[in-house]
């Protein structure tokens, strides 16, 4: 039986990775931090009793716990998604972001090296590496120019992955993921903040939604498409190679609001207000990716459109409220998954 280590098991990407790996019959060792939540696995709660999941307590900032994990799992694959991944938070907690997001990646690589197993490693990188350098679609050759402590920490993680690949001949690569969302996204991110607010406003539980820059444009895809690409990179690529994962189309925060509110028969202009406190110290106006390389080499392509993604997130949050209020569950109309 093949085995895989997944850091960030309770998060969006980690939980979807665990889902897909287990579906393929791969045993997953999911790394979680000890918290006051006890046995709560967040987005991975539905896997609590699955025999192909073994939950292991540890922390990516603690190298000995990672070495112990590598020796336990003897993993074929190591998928690293754990991080302090919120751009806004990285400005208020830059040192922690550097330690967790940057040095945490180094610790994962060093644990694999020390353990001596031929584990294929994937670092989940980000479009924030590029920052605001270009309005043109970014590919693997585009220069990096991060515009936040998060982006800088992720850049270290990307470069140290390249360094270990070249220095120790490890199968180590980075998936340079543009924005990818889902019903499992935390509401600290603008997309889930919008979908939850739409549901609450439609149900009469909220009056207004306060946001920052509505004109910021991002290349938004579905997280389930993106984790499928990550696994392809480890399973199908003969040599370790970094790939941009993106849809190639940018939409504004305003576009997201418009579609989300329209989906429940509302006009976003009546409910959305600007709050300057949500503006970032260094704003990135547009980020759009060019995923031609992974499409050509590995045959990957996104299956879920932007509109389907927005509707699925709104439907999910409407369903959660309906369930809480004892009403009929609001059924998703998306055809992606």
The answer to whether position 334 is within a domain reads no
User: How many residues comprise the chain?
Assistant: 337
User: Is the CB of residue 6 less than 8 Å from the CB of residue 30?
Assistant: yes
Q: Are residues 126 and 236 in the same domain?
A: yes
Q: Which of 16, 29, 77, 150 is catalytic?
A: 150
**DSSP symbol at 279:** S
- Do 30 and 67 fall into the same domain? yes
Residue 284 pLDDT: 74
Three-state SS letters, 237-259: CCCCCCEEECCCCCEEHHHHHHH
List the catalytic residue out of 81, 97, 128, 330. Answer: 128
Q: Has residue 137 been placed in a domain?
A: yes
User: In which domain, by residue range, is 123 found?
Assistant: 3-181+222-245
| Domain membership flag for residue 33 | yes
Active site residue 89: no
Q: Are residues 99 and 22 in the same domain?
A: yes
Phi, psi of 119, deg, nearest 5: -90, 135
pLDDT score, position 88: 86
- List 101, 126, 191, 334, catalytic entry: 126
- Domain check: are 198 and 158 in the same one? no
What is the C-alpha separation between 219 and 178, in angstroms, rounded? 6
Q: Are residues 18 and 128 in the same domain?
A: yes
162 and 266 together in one domain: no
Mean pLDDT, consecutive 10-residue stretches, the chain (337 aa), reads: 97 98 98 73 96 97 97 98 90 96 98 97 96 81 94 98 98 98 95 98 97 94 98 96 97 98 98 88 84 98 97 97 67 56
Q: Total domain count for the chain?
A: 2
pLDDT at res. 38:
62
Query: Which CATH number belongs to the domain containing residue 210 in this structure?
Result: 3.90.25.10
For residue 298, being part of any structural domain is answered with no
pTM across the whole model: 0.93
29 and 45 inside one domain: yes
The reply to whether 128 belongs to the active site is yes
Task: With CA atoms as reference, report the closest residue to 242 among 145, 137, 302, 160.
Answer: 160
* pLDDT at residue 135 in the model: 66
Q: What is the DSSP string of 166-207?
A: HHH---EEEEEE--EE-TTS-TTSHHHHHHHHHHHHHTTS-S
Is residue 247 within 8 A of residue 181, CB to CB? The reply is: no
Can you give the pLDDT at residue 36? 41
**Is residue 126 annotated as part of the catalytic site, yes or no?**
yes
Domain CATH code at residue 136 = 3.40.50.720
């Amino acid at each position: 039986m093949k085995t895989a280590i997944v850091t960030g098991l309770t998060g969006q990407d980690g939980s979807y990775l665990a889902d897909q790996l287990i579906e393929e019959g791969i045993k997953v060792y999911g790394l979680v931090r000890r918290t006051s939540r006890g046995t709560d696995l967040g987005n991975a709660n539905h896997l609590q009793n699955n025999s192909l999941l073994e939950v292991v307590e540890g922390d990516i900032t603690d190298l000995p716990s990672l070495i112990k994990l590598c020796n336990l799992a003897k993993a074929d694959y190591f998928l690293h998604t754990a991080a302090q991944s919120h751009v806004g938070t990285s400005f208020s907690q830059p040192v922690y972001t550097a330690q967790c997001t940057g040095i945490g990646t180094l610790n994962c690589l060093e644990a694999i090296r020390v353990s001596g197993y031929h584990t294929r490693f994937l670092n989940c990188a980000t479009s924030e590496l590029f920052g605001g350098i270009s309005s043109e679609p970014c590919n693997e050759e585009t220069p990096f120019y991060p515009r936040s402590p998060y982006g800088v920490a992720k850049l270290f993680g990307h470069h140290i992955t390249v360094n270990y690949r070249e220095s120790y001949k490890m199968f180590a690569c980075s998936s340079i993921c543009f924005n990818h969302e889902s019903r499992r996204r935390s509401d600290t991110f603008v997309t889930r903040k919008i979908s939850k607010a739409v549901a609450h406003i439609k149900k009469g539980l909220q009056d207004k939604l306060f946001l920052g820059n509505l004109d910021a444009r991002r290349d938004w895809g579905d997280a389930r498409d993106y984790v499928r690409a990550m696994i392809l990179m480890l399973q199908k690529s003969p040599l370790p190679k970094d790939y941009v994962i993106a849809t190639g189309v940018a939409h504004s925060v305003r576009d997201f609001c418009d579609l989300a509110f329209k989906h429940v028969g509302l006009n976003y202009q009546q409910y959305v207000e600007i709050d300057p406190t949500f503006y970032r110290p260094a704003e990135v106006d547009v980020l759009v990716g060019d995923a031609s390389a992974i499409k050509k080499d590995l045959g990957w392509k996104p299956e879920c459109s932007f509109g389907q993604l927005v509707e699925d997130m709104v439907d999910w949050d409407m369903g959660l409220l309906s369930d809480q209020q004892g009403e009929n569950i609001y059924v998703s109309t998306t055809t992606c998954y």
